[in-house]
Amino acid sequence: MSLMGATVATVLMPATAARATGTVHEVQMLNKHPDSNERMVFHPDIVEAQPGDTIRFVAADPAHNSVSYDDMLPEGAEGWKTRMSQDAEVVVGAEGAYGYYCQPHKALGMVGLILVGDASGNYARLKEARLRAPREKQRWEDIFARADEIVGGTA
Ligand SMILES: [Cu+2]
């Protein structure tokens, strides 16, 4: 099984080998942030992982999913799109930064970031992605402000 790129773990393609060696990071899909009044959030919205780790998107509230941005993936990594209102697992193989959003709530800024290993290779490029909705843009600015310190601050 190749660990390059991200693959959605399904019944047909269980990422058993990857999960056996990697850590599982849970991301809750929520209508409201547990500690603030923010609506429609991935929690946590920044995950630090290592190649081969699994990101488990938990459908704690219904009507959410996770979709990778085409222009927010490491070179050569595959994107993903999970089913609405369902738990789903994505194995992150390639080192780098991955941006994703919730399809119904993209414009409301329901977005998240996964940093795998040394993410400096494509992290700066994520900031150049074109974002149309003001709240989407605002959430990304907030995420980047926190992620800068993790990636190195100069990115
Ligand atoms: Cu959503």
Residue 111 belongs to domain with CATH number: 2.60.40.420
Expressed as residue numbers, the domain containing 41 is 6-150
Residue 67 lies in a domain: yes
Angstrom distance (rounded) from CA 143 to CA 84: 24
Q: How many angstroms does the Cα of residue 65 sit away from the middle of ligand 1?
A: 6
Q: How many angstroms does the Cα of residue 88 sit away from the middle of ligand 1?
A: 14
Q: How many angstroms does the Cα of residue 1 sit away from the middle of ligand 1?
A: 31
Residue 84 lies in a domain: yes
Residue 103 lies in a domain: yes
Residue 1 lies in a domain: no
Q: How many angstroms does the Cα of residue 42 sit away from the middle of ligand 1?
A: 8
Q: How many angstroms does the Cα of residue 154 sit away from the middle of ligand 1?
A: 31
Residue 77 lies in a domain: yes
The number of folded domains in the chain is 1
Residue 40 lies in a domain: yes
pLDDT digit string (tens) for the chain, length 155 residues:
444 455 554 433 344 444 446 899 999 999 999 999 999 999 999 999 999 999 999 999 999 999 999 999 999 899 999 999 999 999 999 999 999 999 999 999 999 999 999 999 999 999 999 999 999 999 999 999 999 999 984 44
